[in-house]
Amino acid sequence: MTLSKVDMDELMAPFPDKVVRNRKKHIVQKDCTESCQQIEANTRTVPGIITQRGCCYAGCKGVVVGPIKDMVTITHGPIGCAYYSWGTRRNKIRADDNTPAEDLYGAMCFSTDMQESDIVFGGEKKLAKMIDEIVGIFHPRAINICATCPIGLIGDDLGAVSKAAEERHGIQVLHYDCEGYKGVSQSAGHHIANNQIMEHIIGKGTDKVDGKYLVNFLGEYNIGGDAWEIEKLLEQIGYKIVSTLTGDSAYVNIRNMHQVHLNLVQCHRSINYIADMMETKYGTPWLKVNFIGIEATIESLRDIAQCFGDKDLIKRTEFVIEKELAAVTPEIERYKKICNGKSAFAFVGGSRSHHYQYLLRDLGMDVTVAGYEFAHRDDYEGREVIPTIKSDADSRNIPELHIEADQEMYEEPHIHLKMSKEKYDELVASGKLGNYEGMYPDMVDGGIMIDDANHYETEELIEIFKPDLIFTGIKDKYISHKMGVPSKQMHSYDYSGPYTCFRGAVTFAEDVANALSTPAWKMITPPWDKADIEGGE
């Protein structure tokens, strides 16, 4: 596929000068003959621009904290924030050995429903009373309190309310200062959530978890059951997942996460903080994986096996790969006939626009334009740029935890992996451990990498590249349709899924093929117009 050079000035023609200066830095067109250009990311959206971005609260409560299934999460604020984050993200949960159905709160929405008088006189008493009532009715194992915009302004002391409630009830009550205006996107909320989970939940469990190969699966939210598909596959090989973060996760399991041998990281953006902090505190090594796409799944399975270096494990890995591959290949080939040679855009989150490129490649499709809503430079350019990222007024507002090695629980990474120091050093040298190369290396030549894409740019890029399919969210889905381009929601999978691993790839392939070929696309022009056109000719 050859893609022509995009004239950025033309693309941004109607923008005021200030907006042009800002936006130009957020768009990079890949040129294979050059190394990755710097892309600006995780900086403010220009006011008035129709952005896809959400807020800090959405990243904290909506993404990271909300899916923890056995904690009651109370949103402290006016009604809306709790309401919009109620059941809207498809992070599926189910009961298991450690968590009976009575401890699942996924279908519930808890809001202090602040009124004008609470804004004027403060909402601390109301919050404290609501905690008491919730403990009385539900007896949860632990509680989260998420702040909304007005809380920071009126100065409610959530720390004091939480501490007093912990003393009254003898359970953990965690608070998250995730007011919507903090940072520049959902990303700030991920970080705030990571900090609290790291500081107050992980490492507190004392039940010994047994297993030869213990892993955590970080940055996987079980949308449409994705995590369950991964769990099935890993268990076949012999791994045991102590906890995901946070899809279908439980407070009682998160407390024991420090006992694993290896952390696997799927969504780098939302969870790399915990991966890093666990490495510092417990010595737990982490590996970036991707279970979206058949080739990607195979590579991830092999990488994980290499981390342990056990011959039997490697053998079982190959056996499972062969078996799964044989089962899905004929079906994939069938859908590939429909999908092959088609092009797509992907505008989602902070990882999926990269991950799905693998799965689309399995189907013979190229992503010509890819962008993230809330990524940082390292998600595009790779972690090697992290030391060069300048902090600004917005990023400085998000606290960094200062983690040190735990005196009792720290073990050298090679001991976690049960290998010699030399062998571990070899593994590190291979570049796999603790590393993420970002989206850039996987972009096609001439492809566009765009940060915080806005409505006007999306419309223009569709005109220029004429994609066959757009992967995006609900806000843009129907715009895409009205422009005549099929779309799939990449946050909710249009209520399908799971899309992970081998079987998930088939489901995805079928969904994509259906989106491309549903008969109504050919019926947009009514027959009387067709007759006019033919008559005119």
Scan for tokens 């056995």, then name that residue. Answer: 70
The answer to whether 74 contacts another protein (rule: CB under 8 A) is yes
Among the listed ranges 230-238, 307-315, 408-416, 523-531, the one in contact with another protein (CB under 8 A) is: 523-531
Scan for tokens 């109620």, then name that residue. Answer: 86
By C-beta, is 182 or 377 nearer to another protein? 182
Among the listed ranges 167-175, 306-314, 322-330, 454-462, the one in contact with another protein (CB under 8 A) is: 454-462
The answer to whether 171 contacts another protein (rule: CB under 8 A) is no
Alpha helices in 7-123, H assignment, sequence order: 8-11, 17-24, 56-57, 79-84, 116-121
The answer to whether 269 contacts another protein (rule: CB under 8 A) is no
CA 476 vs. chain centroid, Å, equals: 18
Contact at 8 Å (CB) between 352 and 490? yes
Q: Please give the order of strands across the beta sheet that includes 487-489.
A: 27-29, 448-451, 366-372, 343-347, 469-472, 487-489
The torsion of the CA quartet 9, 376, 382, 404, rounded to 10 degrees, works out to 160
316 to 138, 233, 298, 322: CA distances (angstroms): 44, 11, 13, 10
The answer to whether 182 contacts another protein (rule: CB under 8 A) is yes
Residue 165 bears catalytic tag = no
Rounded to the nearest whole angstrom, what is the least distance from the CB of residue 525 to another protein in the complex?
A: 6
- Between CA 301 and CA 483 the distance in angstroms is 40
The answer to whether 48 contacts another protein (rule: CB under 8 A) is yes
Using DSSP's 3-state secondary structure scheme, residue 491 falls into coil
By CB under 8 A, the count of residues binding another protein is 90
- Between CA 215 and CA 8 the distance in angstroms is 45
Residue 190 bears catalytic tag = yes
By C-beta, is 128 or 444 nearer to another protein? 128
- Between CA 420 and CA 425 the distance in angstroms is 9
Pairing of strands 142-147, 71-76: parallel
Contact at 8 Å (CB) between 60 and 178? yes
The answer to whether 446 contacts another protein (rule: CB under 8 A) is no
The answer to whether 15 contacts another protein (rule: CB under 8 A) is yes
Q: Residue 180: phi, psi to the nearest 5? A: -55, -30
Contact at 8 Å (CB) between 284 and 260? yes
Residue 32 bears catalytic tag = no
Scan for tokens 């022509």, then name that residue. Answer: 4
Per the residue annotation, which of 23, 26, 36, 55 is the catalytic one? 55
16 to 205, 381, 386, 450, 458: CA distances (angstroms): 55, 28, 31, 19, 17
Q: Is 329 exposed, middle or buried (0-12, 13-18, 19+ CB in 10 A)?
A: middle
Per the residue annotation, which of 36, 41, 58, 370 is the catalytic one? 58
Tokens describing residue 255 = 């407390």
473 to 57, 273, 448, 498: CA distances (angstroms): 18, 25, 19, 17
Q: Can you tell me which of 82, 192, 242, 289 binds another protein, judged by CB under 8 A?
A: 82
The answer to whether 349 contacts another protein (rule: CB under 8 A) is no
Rounded to the nearest whole angstrom, what is the least distance from the CB of residue 103 to another protein in the complex?
A: 7
The answer to whether 482 contacts another protein (rule: CB under 8 A) is yes
Residues 99-138 that bind another protein (CB under 8 A): 100-105, 107-116, 118-119, 126, 129-130, 133, 136-138
Rounded to the nearest whole angstrom, what is the least distance from the CB of residue 238 to another protein in the complex?
A: 33
Residue 58 bears catalytic tag = yes
Rounded to the nearest whole angstrom, what is the least distance from the CB of residue 472 to another protein in the complex?
A: 11
Q: Can you tell me which of 32, 429, 524, 533 binds another protein, judged by CB under 8 A?
A: 524
Nearest to 346 by CA among 314, 379, 371, 377: 371
The answer to whether 355 contacts another protein (rule: CB under 8 A) is no
Among the listed ranges 3-11, 223-231, 312-320, 482-490, the one in contact with another protein (CB under 8 A) is: 482-490
The answer to whether 445 contacts another protein (rule: CB under 8 A) is no
Residues 201-230 that bind another protein (CB under 8 A): none
User: Which one-letter amino acid corresponds to residue 498?
Assistant: P
Q: On the CB side of 511, how many CA atoms lie within 13 Å of its CA?
A: 22
Per the residue annotation, which of 23, 53, 190, 376 is the catalytic one? 190
The answer to whether 183 contacts another protein (rule: CB under 8 A) is yes
Tokens describing residue 453 = 């894409």
Residues 358-397 that bind another protein (CB under 8 A): 393-394, 397
User: Which one-letter amino acid corresponds to residue 436?
Assistant: Y
The answer to whether 185 contacts another protein (rule: CB under 8 A) is yes
The answer to whether 47 contacts another protein (rule: CB under 8 A) is yes
By C-beta, is 156 or 366 nearer to another protein? 156
The answer to whether 68 contacts another protein (rule: CB under 8 A) is no
Q: Residue 288: phi, psi to the nearest 5? A: -75, 125
The answer to whether 7 contacts another protein (rule: CB under 8 A) is no
The answer to whether 164 contacts another protein (rule: CB under 8 A) is no
By C-beta, is 319 or 521 nearer to another protein? 521
Using DSSP's 3-state secondary structure scheme, residue 53 falls into coil
By C-beta, is 49 or 464 nearer to another protein? 49
Among the listed ranges 13-21, 163-171, 251-259, 429-437, the one in contact with another protein (CB under 8 A) is: 13-21
- Between CA 143 and CA 349 the distance in angstroms is 27
Query: Going residue by residue from 27 to 46, which x/- string records binding to another protein, judged by CB under 8 A?
Result: -----------------xxx
Per the residue annotation, which of 89, 255, 269, 383 is the catalytic one? 89
By C-beta, is 15 or 291 nearer to another protein? 15
Rounded to the nearest whole angstrom, what is the least distance from the CB of residue 132 to another protein in the complex?
A: 8
Q: Can you tell me which of 232, 474, 517, 518 binds another protein, judged by CB under 8 A?
A: 474
| Residues annotated as part of the active site | 55, 58, 89, 190
